[in-house]
Amino acid sequence: MNKTLRFQWAVRASRPAARLVLVQDGRLLAGPSLPVPERRALEAWLAAAKFTGEVAATAWPPGLPVPVLLVGIGKTPEFHPARWRRAWAAAGRALANVRTLKTISCEWPAAASFPLTTAELAGLAADGLLQGEYSFEAYKSERSARRLAIEWTGAALATRAVRAAVHLAEQTGGILREVRDVANRPANDLAPMALAAQVRKLARRAGLACRVWNQEALRRAQCRALLAVAQGSHRPPCLIRVAYAGRRGWRPFVVVGKAVMFDSGGISLKPPKDMDWMKYDKSGGMVALATVLLAAHRRLPRPVVAYIPAVENMPGGGATRPGDIVTARNGKTVEILNTDAEGRMILADALTFAADEKPAAIVDVATLTGAVIVALGHEATAVLGNNDRLILELMLAGEATGERLWQLPLWSEYDEMLKGKFADLKNIGDGSAGTIAGGAFLKQFVPADIPWAHLDIAGTAWREAEQAHGAPGATLAGARLLAEWAARSRPGP
């Protein structure tokens, strides 16, 4: 990794190369460290430029003796952890786009005006900075190799809790950036078995057990739902298991992540405008991987196991035809009426492996439906499941990490939609409630006594274009929240 942000705590006498000043309610959040003439100049500029400090708005006002990066954090009553994190991500993005800067210092605002602890604020800020600053450069001939240091000043920050929160964000940030580098790779350079090799490498380095079922092993395990998706591609599928052992006597959390290396739709081919970014269809798998790596790094007591079914959905000569019927690993038969509803097929088989682990809970993560983008856009991940307590835990963890979840219902009435004409199930509903139909299908593959939740990250996993708060590409939305959820879980099975 060629770019790092460093956070330093002690007040340094050295003259900062630049200054970062937050703007809230249209006013500068800066204390005595900002010299009066500069403050006056900035205030004049704010008024002239009508810079109101909307969340993630940034600016470098001209003509100051020391360059100042202004970062908007919005209005006090609209404060939200996700917005605070986003503002800092925008700061990270603004800094990434300035190639000459060496250090920047920020005077921390008075904590009283925020509904979070200073440690929580600092952790979110560091996380935002690191993720905002990241961009995917593996395939560019010219890369920006530059180290950027951020120095924080202000006694409020010199506490243990703050240090710990920032340290955690830095460590987490390193892991997430590494996994994002995998998640951003195009499908021509990352076949399912190549992904397995990557995962194995990362798992080994973290001291984690890793097992891979290749195509032969998947046949023996009767994963015909998964294999049906893969059979239109020349590149064989696999199922990857990565396990962090945690403390003895605790039952694991199992995270199942959809890894469709490329989703052409298969014979039910997608329209071209929906296609190039379908290399992002492996995002759920990448989130599952990141979650175990984070759990292991934090040495959580809770064991965390990831299952990552990896396939390519292609319309080759051997491809599954609409109307084909297959038997999933749990014995249920499925009519495949649309080969583009492939995620639920591979998850179906992976979920039965997850259930075999006797887990305390299962969470699957998938870019499952375009319908979730219709419902929630790109601001929230949909959460559905069979256990409202689990769902609430996940939602609260998401509030803490700035990754928002929104629940959709999964009442048994919806199961009707998925009854097959010639088989037990069909893989699509009637066209209504597309995200719920996906969840209702998955539910058929999870024993009812295991708490289970499904995260549909189709709208949150990818940034199509450069935005104020992030570079284009994989976001790994859900990874921090799942690690946080595992960290919060109480002792025992």
Active-site positions? 270, 344
- Our finding on whether 346 is near ligand BES (CB under 6 A) is no
Terminal CA-to-CA distance of the chain, rounded, Å? 38
In the shown chain, the binding pattern of residues 421 to 460 toward ligand BES, with x for contact by CB under 6 A and - for none, equals: -------x-----x-----------------------x--
Query: In this chain, which of 30, 347, 371, 391 binds ligand BES, going by CB under 6 A?
Result: 371
Q: What is the Cβ-side half-sphere exposure of residue 249, based on CA atoms within 13 angstroms? A: 3
- Our finding on whether 477 is near ligand BES (CB under 6 A) is no
Enumerate residues 6+ apart whose C-beta is below 8 A from 9. Answer: 152, 157, 158, 163
3-class DSSP state for residue 360?
coil
Q: Residue 127 is encoded by which pair of tokens?
A: 């996380």
Contact between 222 and 327 (Cβ < 8 Å): yes
Contact between 153 and 20 (Cβ < 8 Å): no
Give the nearest distance from C-beta 191 to Zn ion in angstroms.
Answer: 16
State which residue has the least CB distance to Zn ion.
Answer: 263
- Our finding on whether 341 is near ligand BES (CB under 6 A) is yes
What residues line the site for Zn ion (CB under 5 A)? 260, 263, 281, 343
Only segment of 328-336, 363-371, 416-424, 464-472 that touches ligand BES (CB under 6 A):
363-371
In the bound state with Zn ion, the residue whose beta carbon lies nearer, of 279 and 329, is 279
Query: In this chain, which of 170, 340, 393, 484 binds Mn ion, going by CB under 5 A?
Result: 340
Contact between 476 and 286 (Cβ < 8 Å): yes
Choose from ligand BES, Mn ion, Zn ion, none: what does 295 bind? Cβ within 5-8 Å by kind: none
- Our finding on whether 369 is near ligand BES (CB under 6 A) is yes
Give the type of residue at 366.
Answer: A
Query: In this chain, which of 127, 170, 263, 349 binds Mn ion, going by CB under 5 A?
Result: 263
- Smallest Cα–Cα separation from 90: which of 51, 35, 129? 129
Only segment of 71-79, 105-113, 284-292, 334-342 that touches ligand BES (CB under 6 A):
334-342
Q: Residue 424 is encoded by which pair of tokens?
A: 């037990």
In the bound state with Mn ion, the residue whose beta carbon lies nearer, of 24 and 313, is 313
Give the nearest distance from C-beta 277 to ligand BES in angstroms.
Answer: 8
Q: Are strands 68-72 and 58-59 parallel, antiparallel or unpaired?
A: antiparallel
Other beta carbons within 10 angstroms of residue 217's beta carbon come to 13
In the shown chain, the binding pattern of residues 372 to 411 toward ligand BES, with x for contact by CB under 6 A and - for none, equals: ----------------------------------------
Q: Residue 10 is encoded by which pair of tokens?
A: 């002690």
What is the chain's alpha carbon radius of gyration, rounded to the nearest angstrom? 24
Which residues are bridge partners to 370 per DSSP? Answer: none
State which residue has the least CB distance to Mn ion.
Answer: 340
Q: Are strands 304-313 and 238-244 parallel, antiparallel or unpaired?
A: antiparallel
Query: In this chain, which of 281, 312, 357, 484 binds ligand BES, going by CB under 6 A?
Result: 281
Give the nearest distance from C-beta 367 to ligand BES in angstroms.
Answer: 5
- Smallest Cα–Cα separation from 365: which of 342, 349, 381? 381
Q: Residue 464 is encoded by which pair of tokens?
A: 């199509």
Give the nearest distance from C-beta 151 to ligand BES in angstroms.
Answer: 41
Give the nearest distance from C-beta 434 to ligand BES in angstroms.
Answer: 6
CA-to-CA distance for 339 and 320, rounded, in angstroms?
7
- Our finding on whether 393 is near Mn ion (CB under 5 A) is no
3-class DSSP state for residue 233?
coil
Note the residues at the interface with ligand BES (CB under 6 A): 263, 274, 281, 338, 340-343, 367-371, 428, 434, 458
Note the residues at the interface with Mn ion (CB under 5 A): 263, 340, 342
